[in-house]
């Protein structure tokens, strides 16, 4: 399972380790995309809980069976 989470605002790269090593990419529209392949669904819920407790605005969550192709 691969997930992509889009949030409002730009997160500092220092959040990456705290968020279970999700990759953080800043988009020009003022949002950040977080992506990873969590080991299981409970790990994903843990990340979502951390984001909610940090009052980060979740814009979207996308789940795929495989990571998106790069390029």
Q: pLDDT of 6-60, one tens digit each?
A: 999 999 988 888 888 899 999 999 999 999 898 898 999 999 999 999 999 999 9
pTM of the model: 0.85
pLDDT at 7: 97
Name the phi and psi angles at 65, rounded to 5: -75, -30
* 41 in a structural domain: yes
Which tokens sit at 65?
């069976």
* 71 in a structural domain: no
Segment holding 54, helix H or strand E: none
CATH number of 53's domain: 3.30.70
Count up the domains in the chain and report the number.
1
* 70 in a structural domain: no
* 43 in a structural domain: yes
Answer for the pair 9, 58: CB distance below 8 angstroms, yes or no: no
């Amino acid at each position: 399972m691969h997930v992509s989470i889009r949030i409002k605002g730009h997160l500092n790269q220092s959040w990456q380790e705290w968020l279970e090593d999700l990759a953080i990419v800043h988009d020009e529209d003022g949002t950040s995309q977080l992506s990873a392949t969590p080991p299981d669904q409970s790990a994903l819920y843990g990340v979502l809980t951390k984001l909610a407790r940090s009052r980060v605005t979740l814009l979207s969550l996308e789940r795929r069976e495989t990571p998106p192709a790069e390029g």
